[in-house]
Structure 1
Amino acid sequence: HMITDVNTCSDRERYRRDLLDIYQAALQSVHGERAVARWLSQSDGASFAVAAIGKAAPAMMQGALRALGERLLQGLVITRKGYADPRFASHERIIQMESAHPVPDESSLVAGQALLDFIRDQPEKQPLLFLISGGASSLVKVLSAGISLDDLQNLNRWLLGSGLDIHAMNSLRCRISEIKGGGLLGYIAHRPTTVLLVSDVPGDDPAVIGSGLLFPSPQGKLPAHLPEWLAALPMRPPVPEQTTVPQHHLVATSAQAVAAVAQKARSLGYVAHAGYPPMEGDAAEQGAAFARSLSEAPPGVHVVGGETTVVLPPHPGRGGRNQHLALAAAREIAGRDDLLVLAAGTDGSDGPGEDAGALVDGSTWQRARDEGFDPALALEQADSGSVLEATGDLISTGPTGTNVMDLLIGLKVPESG
Structure 2
Amino acid sequence: MCRSLLLELGMTGIDAVRGDRLVAAAARELPPGERLQLIAVGKAAAAMAAGARRSLGKRVARTLVITKEGHVAPWSAELKGAEVIEAGHPLPTAASLRAGERLLAFIREAGEEAEFLLLISGGTSSLLEAPVEGVDLETLQRVNRWLLGSGLDIAQLNAVRRRISRIKGGNLLQVLGGRTTRVWLISDVPGDDPAVIGSGPCYPPPSPDAGGEPAYPDWLAELLQRVPRPPAIEGPVPEHRILGNLDMACRAVVEAARQGGHAAHYHRPELDGDAEQTGLELAARLAGLPPGVHVWGGETTVRLPPHPGRGGRNQQLALAAATVLAGSEGRCMLAIGTDGTDGPTEDAGALVDGGTLARGEAEGLSAAEHLRRADAGRFLEASGDLVSTGPTGTNVRDLLLAMKE
State the TM-score, normalizing by the size of structure 1.
Answer: 0.88
Query: 1:31–1:352: structure 2 CA closer, same or farther, 3 Å change rule?
Result: same
Deviation at 1:92, TM superposition (A): 5.5
- Counterpart amino acid of residue 206 in structure 2: P
Contact 2:69 2:88 in 1 (8 A): yes
Deviation at 1:135, TM superposition (A): 1.0
1:292 counterpart (284, 287, 294): 284
Structure 1 distance, partners of 2:395, 2:165, is 24
Alignment pair present for 1:190 and 2:178: yes
Give deviations 1:10-30, integer Å, cap 9, x for gaps: xxxx22111111001011001
Query: 1:375–1:165: structure 2 CA closer, same or farther, 3 Å change rule?
Result: closer
Deviation at 1:89, TM superposition (A): 7.8
Q: Which residue of 2 aligns with 1:26?
A: 13
Deviation at 1:34, TM superposition (A): 0.8
Structure 1 distance, partners of 2:15, 2:78, is 26
Q: Which residue of 1 aligns with 2:343?
A: 351
Structure 2 distance, partners of 1:90, 1:170, is 32
Q: Which residue of 2 aligns with 1:112?
A: 100
Query: 1:351–1:151: structure 2 CA closer, same or farther, 3 Å change rule?
Result: closer
Deviation at 1:113, TM superposition (A): 1.1
Q: Which residue of 2 aligns with 1:382?
A: 374
Structure 2 distance, partners of 1:320, 1:333, is 20
1:54 counterpart (37, 42, 45): 42
Alignment pair present for 1:406 and 2:393: no
Contact 2:46 2:65 in 1 (8 A): yes
Q: Which residue of 1 aligns with 2:51?
A: 63
Query: 1:307–1:402: structure 2 CA closer, same or farther, 3 Å change rule?
Result: same
User: Helix, strand or coil: the match of 1:310?
Assistant: coil
User: Helix, strand or coil: the match of 2:249?
Assistant: helix
Which piece of structure 1 moves more, 371-380 or 58-67?
Answer: 371-380
Query: 1:237–1:385: structure 2 CA closer, same or farther, 3 Å change rule?
Result: closer
Correspondence list, 1:322-361, <5 A: 322-361=314-353
Structure 1 distance, partners of 2:68, 2:349, is 19
Q: Which residue of 2 aligns with 1:230?
A: 223
Structure 1 distance, partners of 2:397, 2:74, is 25
Alignment pair present for 1:214 and 2:202: yes
Which piece of structure 1 moves more, 312-321 or 70-79?
Answer: 312-321
Query: 1:172–1:247: structure 2 CA closer, same or farther, 3 Å change rule?
Result: same
Which piece of structure 1 moves more, 33-42 or 400-409?
Answer: 33-42
Contact 1:181 1:239 in 2 (8 A): no
- Counterpart amino acid of residue 3 in structure 2: R
Contact 2:331 2:404 in 1 (8 A): yes
Structure 2 distance, partners of 1:259, 1:21, is 14
- Counterpart amino acid of residue 385 in structure 1: G
User: Helix, strand or coil: the match of 2:185?
Assistant: strand
Larger RCO, structures 1/2 (Cα 8 Å, 6+ apart): 2
Contact 2:318 2:333 in 1 (8 A): yes
Give deviations 1:314-334, integer Å, cap 9, x for gaps: 332222111111111111112
Deviation at 1:55, TM superposition (A): 0.6
Contact 1:280 1:307 in 2 (8 A): yes
Alignment pair present for 1:316 and 2:308: yes
- Counterpart amino acid of residue 395 in structure 1: V
Deviation at 1:143, TM superposition (A): 2.6
Alignment pair present for 1:263 and 2:247: no
Give deviations 1:236-287, integer Å, cap 9, x for gaps: 52333x4210010111101111101101111221111003210011111111
Query: 1:386–1:134: structure 2 CA closer, same or farther, 3 Å change rule?
Result: same
Contact 1:146 1:233 in 2 (8 A): no
Deviation at 1:87, TM superposition (A): 5.2
Structure 2 distance, partners of 1:161, 1:20, is 29
Give deviations 1:137-162, integer Å, cap 9, x for gaps: 12111233454334434544666788
Deviation at 1:296, TM superposition (A): 0.4
State the TM-score, normalizing by the size of structure 2.
Answer: 0.91
What's the Cα RMSD here? 2.5
Query: 1:85–1:302: structure 2 CA closer, same or farther, 3 Å change rule?
Result: same
Give deviations 1:365-398, integer Å, cap 9, x for gaps: 2222223222232222222211211221110001
Q: Which residue of 2 aligns with 1:253?
A: 245
Structure 1 distance, partners of 2:78, 2:22, is 24
User: Helix, strand or coil: the match of 1:296?
Assistant: coil
Query: 1:282–1:385: structure 2 CA closer, same or farther, 3 Å change rule?
Result: same
Contact 1:342 1:408 in 2 (8 A): yes
User: Helix, strand or coil: the match of 1:249?
Assistant: strand
Q: Which residue of 2 aligns with 1:5?
A: none
- Counterpart amino acid of residue 243 in structure 2: V
- Counterpart amino acid of residue 83 in structure 1: H
Unaligned segments of structure 2, at least 5 residues: none
Query: 1:142–1:382: structure 2 CA closer, same or farther, 3 Å change rule?
Result: closer
Deviation at 1:301, TM superposition (A): 0.5
Contact 2:250 2:296 in 1 (8 A): yes
Deviation at 1:293, TM superposition (A): 1.3
User: Helix, strand or coil: the match of 2:287?
Assistant: helix
Contact 1:177 1:236 in 2 (8 A): no
Query: 1:59–1:230: structure 2 CA closer, same or farther, 3 Å change rule?
Result: same
Unaligned segments of structure 1, at least 5 residues: 1-13
